[in-house]
């Protein structure tokens, strides 16, 4: 069996930035064990397998695997798969085209709006799945700082404190004082297990307001060793939860608020994630995640 695949860089307008993603097409005959083996072979943070849709009105069904397990949803695989399918199936007319790519995922249906422009990186945006849980405070800053290779005084800024949010993925959100603290992050395995693994976290999203780029609102790093991902260059699913953290501490007024998150800088893979938050009656009503993606490679898998 031969299957075509593509490699995309997601949340970037240029090759070799952003978060790399493998997308395997026409994967209906693969077993879950074979999908997992292929994901281990690519050894990227996620690999997407595209299958025929089972529900009317959908473009495709996708399954998402990290090198160690299947996950029900992730942001950069959703965005990258949708942009690839639009790029392969939608014809650009007079230099531009727009498309809606409806994806069946384990978490449910996700609709991605894709903008194609001749000579430019494709841009996609999707309504994030709802998160019904509320952020929980993570106490013990000494334990958290030890797990991240920092000192307690580097944890937190303004009124921001470490929080845990349970959605389709479970992320810890840890604010740190500045870019200097961000540059020192490292995983201390013994302390990490007590601070994060034992609480069921999939990853730890560390952030600060101090940024490298002037148009960015936050600078972030994502560490996810429990998923087999030492560090992720761009994490859309964590950005969704981050919207809830922002609103909890910053209390934005009613209306739409756009925030740009820079990530992956320390890895040499700078990424830009567009986060649009809509606040109604003082509460976060909806979240949209957007970003660009570029194709960098393609090939054939022989199974």
Tens-digit pLDDT profile for residues 238-251: 999 999 999 999 99
- Inter-residue contact 66 to 39 (CB < 8 Å): yes
Do 283 and 297 share a domain, yes or no? no
> What's the token pair of residue 10?
């997601």
Tokens 């790399």 correspond to: 20
137-149 pLDDT tens trace: 987 889 999 999 9
Predicted local confidence at residue 132, as pLDDT:
81
Do 102 and 38 share a domain, yes or no? yes
- In total, how many domains does the chain have? 2
- Domain ranges, residue 15: 2-127+292-302
87-135 pLDDT tens trace: 999 988 888 899 999 999 999 999 999 999 999 999 999 999 888 888 9
Mean predicted lDDT score pLDDT of the chain: 95
pTM beyond 0.75, yes or no: yes
Predicted local confidence at residue 92, as pLDDT:
86
* 291: helix, strand or coil: strand
**Separation of alpha carbons 30 and 27, rounded Å:** 6
Do 283 and 147 share a domain, yes or no? yes
Q: How confident is the model at residue 81 (pLDDT cuts 50, 70, 90)?
A: very high
Q: How confident is the model at residue 1 (pLDDT cuts 50, 70, 90)?
A: confident
CATH number of the CATH domain containing 240: 3.10.310.10
Question: Nearest to residue 122, comparing CAs of 89, 93, 96?
Answer: 96
Do 34 and 145 share a domain, yes or no? no
Of the listed 46, 104, 154, 231, which one is catalytic? 46
Do 141 and 263 share a domain, yes or no? yes
- Inter-residue contact 9 to 45 (CB < 8 Å): no
Do 113 and 141 share a domain, yes or no? no
Do 142 and 264 share a domain, yes or no? yes
Do 60 and 156 share a domain, yes or no? no
Is 46 in the active site? yes
Do 147 and 284 share a domain, yes or no? yes
Do 123 and 151 share a domain, yes or no? no
Do 111 and 210 share a domain, yes or no? no
Do 153 and 117 share a domain, yes or no? no
């Amino acid at each position: 069996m031969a299957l075509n695949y593509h490699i995309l860089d997601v949340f970037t307008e240029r090759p070799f930035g952003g978060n790399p993603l493998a997308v395997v097409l026409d994967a209906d005959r693969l077993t879950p064990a074979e999908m997992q083996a292929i994901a281990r072979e690519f050894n990227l943070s996620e690999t997407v397998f595209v299958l025929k849709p089972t529900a009317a009105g959908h473009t495709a069904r996708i399954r998402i695997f990290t090198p160690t397990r299947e996950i029900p949803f992730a942001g950069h695989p959703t965005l990258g798969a949708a942009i690839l399918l639009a790029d392969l199936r939608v014809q650009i007319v007079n230099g531009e085209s727009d498309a809606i790519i409806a994806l069946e995922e384990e978490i449910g249906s996700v609709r991605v709006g894709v903008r194609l422009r001749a000579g430019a990186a494709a841009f996609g945006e999707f309504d994030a799945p709802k998160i019904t849980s509320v952020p929980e405070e993570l106490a013990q800053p000494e334990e958290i700082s030890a797990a991240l290779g920092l000192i307690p005084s580097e944890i937190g800024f303004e009124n921001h404190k470490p929080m845990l949010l349970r959605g389709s993925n479970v992320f810890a959100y840890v604010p740190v004082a500045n870019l200097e603290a961000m540059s020192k992050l490292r995983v201390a395995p013994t302390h990490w297990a007590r601070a994060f693994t034992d609480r069921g976290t999939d990853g730890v999203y560390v952030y600060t307001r101090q940024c490298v780029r002037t148009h960015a609102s936050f600078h972030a790093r994502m560490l996810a060793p429990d998923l087999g991902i030492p560090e992720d260059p761009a994490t859309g699913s964590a950005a969704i939860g981050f919207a809830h953290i922002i609103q909890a501490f910053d209390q934005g007024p009613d209306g739409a608020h756009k925030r740009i998150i820079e990530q992956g800088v320390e890895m040499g893979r700078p990424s830009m994630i567009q986060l649009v938050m809509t606040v109604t009656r003082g509460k976060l009503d909806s979240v949209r995640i957007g970003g660009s993606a570029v194709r960098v490679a393609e090939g054939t898998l022989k199974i």
